[in-house]
Amino acid sequence: MIESPSGLPPAAPSIHAAPRRRARRSLVTYTLLALTVLVFLLQTLSSSLLGTDLPLAWGAKINALISQGEVWRLVTPLLLHASLLHVGFNLYALYVLGPQAEALFGHWRFLAVYLVAGMGGILASFLMTAEASVGASSAIFGLVGALLVFFYRHRHALGEFGRRGLLNLLFVAGINLVLGLSPGIDNWGHLGGLVAGGCLALVLGPDLRVERVEVSGETIVNDRRAFRRTWPWALLLALALLAAALFIRPSS
């Protein structure tokens, strides 16, 4: 239950409590950020000490290896990056989008959207391009797609906040898809993640109902779709994506 349709908790009671509250509310986001940094450090150390990037070799999206049964490569690219600029851009995007998405969707539902939409983007890349690829971009675009659907569905309930959020996300998605036309950018992964995130928001996302308490005049926003009733769909979709990689012919 949220006391107001802002997607954010009430103001913190003190300046000291605010960082702690933000950290608790964005626990999954910060965990993903930390894991991404850790894996990139491992990539850098591996390249420096061994002369080869072992995490990249073991986890990148390589179509031939996925077809041979290495289906974990639909997930592991989300933690791997090709350069400092690449990882820095995705870390910043997750830092900006993650806390809001996690506040609106909840910890576990946010994680499900991030991972399954990311897998959907990697599968789209697997089907449409033969190039090897890595990066969290498909999951980031999954968050954009999920938030677009969320704000559109609840544009009346959330008022100006919802409409402003929808317009901002449309602008961000459009700019990034245009930039993705540059050489070396896996736009199929971006587009696949965007579509997968939107579909997941329809199936798993919050279904809000706004109610006004007559006595106090407060506005209460209730979520009528608890994640405990929808998580099996997230698991089923993830398994379906893994199975698809084994039975569908990739781009070559």
Active site residues: 137, 190
- Beta carbons within 10 angstroms of residue 10's beta carbon: 10
The span from the CA of 181 to the CA of 233, in Å, is 33
The span from the CA of 197 to the CA of 92, in Å, is 19
Let me know the angle formed at the C-alpha of 99 by 95 and 100, rounded to the nearest 5 degrees: 120
**26 neighbors 99 (Cβ within 8 angstroms):** yes
Torsion angle defined by CA atoms of residues 124, 129, 131 and 134, in that order, rounded to the nearest 10 degrees: -20
The span from the CA of 151 to the CA of 44, in Å, is 39
> How many residues are present in the chain?
252
The span from the CA of 146 to the CA of 233, in Å, is 15
- Token readout for 178 is 């245009």
- Token readout for 174 is 């459009």
Which class for 232: exposed (0-12), middle (13-18), buried (19 or more C-beta within 10 A)? Answer: exposed
